Chain A
Amino acid sequence: MEILMAWRNVWRNPRRSVLTILAIAFACLLLIFMLSFQFGMYEVMINAAVKVQTGHLQVIAKDYDKDMKMRWVVEDPQAVGDLMLAVPHITAHTFRANGFALLSSRDRTYGGMVTGVLPAREREISSTASTIRQGAYLEPGDTNQAVVGSLLAKNLHISVGDELVLLGNARDGSIAATVLNVKGVFSSGMDEYDRSAIQIPLPYFQEVFAMRGAVHQVVAVCDSLTAVGPAQSTVTGNLPKVKSKRNLECKSWDELLPGLIQSIQMDLGGGIIFYLILIVVVAFSIMNTFLMAVFERTHEFGTLMAIGAKPARLTKMLLYESAFLTSCGIILGIAAGCALTIYVESTGITLGEAQGMLRQYGIPNVMRPELSWLTAVTGPFVVFFITMLTALYPAFKVRKLKPVEAMHAI
């Protein structure tokens, strides 16, 4: 009964109701789109960083991530690798070793980070192989071949087929020197990485840098981001079984990239404050509708009470009215928000002049929002909650009405 009355009351003043519904719908639409956009961006940033650099999990000597010291090694990578094979959700793993070196071409010298990789396994883990611009990626049988970051290649004035002299410190402190052949040039899209990275086959790296079979990182990827946590604790639990001079530790991508996570938190935090303020502005906008709906009907409520309607029933009816209004707005908002998001998801947004800036953070030129249950429902839910909160005031105010006085009101 109250439901029917409430529904009809909503449409007694269609213009007002439609405006209110539109205000709520606008807030929902905006929240859905912006949240989808932000989350889409974060996922791209995370994936880019994980794919290009860290992988989901790494087993390293303690503190190697903070300070890449040559002597902090994983001495028995095979043992760690065997351990990883047994962990569920870990889909692939590989070994890497890194050393800083001076790279000289015919007429230029630059410093760079040399990484020894296992070409076949690296393909399954990182995106470097797929971002080769020139030449080809490393093959398992290669020896003194190298793939070079595009900006480093540009700085060194080299291209595929050129020679490159490498000069660095080996694990034992001696000098590591060799001549490399440039086999390919890659462009990961992350300028910082492309400016300094060079990859050579791991066995050759171990020989040149006197690694004696050791590596620096055992990198693993999981089947999904959510599986990283459990996989990490399993690996950490099993690590003490592997013998090593310096304690080993297993770190996840978010621990390896604290700057990335904090920048995401910062962006999201700023976004949330902004959204809350927006919702509050909307709430004040529609609070008037709810209030008016009560005050202009004082006479009516008086009559209803006089013929025996309990205050509780009036409150209930008013809350139903607000709920109807809000729900209509939210449904409309979700529909429009999802439609807009899906449309932009298919077309993408180009960022014009800002794209160069964003490339630094690994964000591609075309950004796409990503609609998920979380982004589609969170915003509208908060809007519903806050608008219903504002509706409480008039709904309870009505209880204080005295039938006689109320019926005197016009």
Chain B
Amino acid sequence: MQLQLAWRNIWRNPRRTLIILTAVVIGAWTMLFFGALSRGMAESMLTNSINNLTGHIQIQKQGYRDDPVVENRINDPTPIKALLDQDLPPEAKWAFRIEVNGVASNARNSKGVTIVGIDPDREPDLSFYGQSVTEGRALRPDDAHGILVGQGLLDSMDTKPGRKIVLMTQGADKETASRAFKIRGVYRAELEATEKRYVFVTLPAARKLLGVKNAVTSACIRLPEREQVGPMAETLGKHLPKGLSLLTWEDMLPLLTGYLSMFDSFMFLWYLVVFVAMGFGIVNTTLMAVLERTREFGLLKALGMKPARIVRGVLTECLILLLVGLVAGNALGLLTVLVLSGGIDLSFMAEGSQYFGMSHLIFPKLMARDVVAANGVILVLGLLVSLYPALKAGRITPVEAMAQT
């Protein structure tokens, strides 16, 4: 009965109702769509960083993270191999790496690079390596003198596949070690900075360059889902050989983790701002709807209706208004995200998005948490602010109502 009454009351003035509905719909739509967009951007930053040779979990020698030099290497990686083969689920991927800073030079140019020694069979599952070799070919496992470089580095060093590059770095004996490599292939990455920074050689070649035998600097692990990282890190941590440390992506990307942890508060703050803009409209409209019905409420009271029931009636009207607005807003938001699910191309801003470490293609990501938060904010706060006009209506006395013309 009350529901029907409220529904009919709302449509007594359709124009007014439609206008306030529009405000609620736009508000809800904005919250959802922009929420999804920002999440997509954050996700893009995170995916890029994890692909960027970080992986989900790394096992390194203690101290390597602060001081990534050959001194902090793992001399005998066999216990790690045994541990990983035993504990990791079969669908997880992992590989050993040697990662040290060095210099790449040819006759005319020298550039600072990170030399990465990889296992050509296993690495493609772990990082961007091998996903986009544009010229030449990827490294072969037995390639003792091949090197894979990024397009950015290739351009800035004025060279091309087939030519030589000399890598220099500090060897295990603390002397400068150098070795010549032949460019076998060229890769492209999302970010130009990545292309300029990493050069890939095979693990045996890197060992020879550094003058070590079986050593590696890290084991990189990638799990099927990011959510599995926590429990898996705990399992591996229990059996970890002494002197080694286990790092999750959250440890390795502290800046990004800090940013992501603040992300939820940013979003919530933003929901609040949009709500306040919308809230004024809700209060005002409801207030008008109440005040112009002073006579009606007075009459109802004179007929014996309890104030609580009047308050409930007005709140029900608001609730219906909010619900209808939310349904439409959510549908619109969902639709927008769906339409744009192919990704939003930001390549016209390529250098700007690279600056933030994002890809040029952003996929909006709608998270259940955000949808709930946005709808919750609108519904709860919406009802809260409509309490004011509702109480106002409950307090109208029959005498003053009848006195009013």
Contact = CB atoms under 8 A, between A and B. Distances in A.
B262 A352 contact: yes
Nearest to B13: A295
Interface stretch (A226-234, A236-244, A279-287, A335-343): A279-287
B355 A262 contact: yes
Interface stretch (B86-94, B211-219, B253-261): B253-261
Given A109-B170, A280-B26, A296-B292, A285 B351 contact: no
Interface stretch (B99-107, B140-148, B201-209, B332-340): B99-107
A107 B175 CA distance: 9
Given A287-B19, A356-B255, A109 B169 contact: yes
A259 B352 contact: yes
Interface string A260-303: 11111110000000100110111011111101100010000000
B288 interface: yes
A37 interface: no
A67 B112 CA distance: 14
A20 B284 contact: yes
Nearest to A390: B19
B351 A281 contact: no
A256 interface: no
Interface string B246-278: 000000001110110110000000000110111
Given A104-B176, A168-B110, A285 B280 contact: yes
B127 interface: no
B103 A102 contact: yes
A284 B284 CA distance: 11
Given A196-B112, A288-B16, A291-B16, A278 B274 contact: yes
B24 to A, nearest CB: 9
Contacts of A266: 346, 349, 352-353, 356
Given A278-B277, A281-B274, A263 B22 contact: no
Nearest to A283: B23
Task: Bin the interface of chain A by size.
Answer: 35 or more
B108 interface: yes
B225 interface: no
B103 A15 contact: no
Contacts, number: 164
A220 to B, nearest CB: 24
A284 B352 contact: no
A112 B34 contact: no
A7 interface: no
A260 B356 CA distance: 10
B329 to A, nearest CB: 11
Contact of B258 (A169, A289, A357): A357
Interface string A10-22: 0000011001101
B349 A22 contact: no
Contacts of A396: none
B102 A111 contact: yes
Nearest to A289: B284
B354 interface: yes
B278 A361 contact: no
- Which of A16, A109, A112, A169 has the most chain B CB atoms closer than 10 A to its own CB? A109
A287 B277 CA distance: 13
A28 to B, nearest CB: 11
Interface in A74-113: 100-102, 104, 107-113
Interface string B65-106: 001010100000000000000000000000000000111010
Contacts of A71: 108
Nearest to A100: B110
A23 B256 CA distance: 36
A71 B155 CA distance: 16
Nearest to A287: B19
B274 A353 contact: no
Interface string B285-306: 1011000100000000000000
A184 to B, nearest CB: 22
B228 interface: no
Contacts of A168: 110
B108 A353 contact: no
A44 interface: no
Contacts of B26: 277, 280-281, 284
Given A23-B277, A26-B276, A354 B258 contact: yes
A265 B352 contact: yes
Nearest to B178: A102
A110 B103 CA distance: 8
Contacts of A357: 255-256, 258-259
Given A108-B69, A155-B67, A285 B277 contact: yes
A16 B112 contact: no
Contacts of B34: 274, 277
A287 B156 CA distance: 58
A123 interface: no
Contacts of A278: 273-274, 277
A258 interface: yes
Interface string A354-377: 101100110000000000000000
A391 B26 CA distance: 19
A19 B386 CA distance: 13
Contacts of B109: 69-70, 100, 169
A104 B175 CA distance: 10
A295 B43 CA distance: 49
A129 B274 CA distance: 46
A19 B284 contact: yes
Contacts of A274: 30, 34
Pairs of residues from A and B, 5 with the lowest C-beta to C-beta distance, nearest first: A285-B281, A262-B352, A111-B112, A23-B280, A353-B258
17 contacts: A23-B277, A70-B108, A100-B103, A104-B170, A110-B112, A111-B101, A259-B354, A263-B356, A265-B349, A266-B346, A266-B352, A274-B30, A281-B23, A281-B27, A287-B19, A291-B15, A354-B258
Interface of B: 15-16, 19-20, 22-23, 26-27, 30, 34, 67, 69, 71, 101-103, 105, 107-113, 155-156, 168-170, 174, 176, 254-256, 258-259, 261-262, 273-274, 276-278, 280-285, 287-288, 292, 346, 349-356
Given A259-B355, A284-B22, 8 more contacts: A108-B170, A109-B176, A169-B109, A262-B355, A281-B274, A285-B278, A286-B284, A291-B16
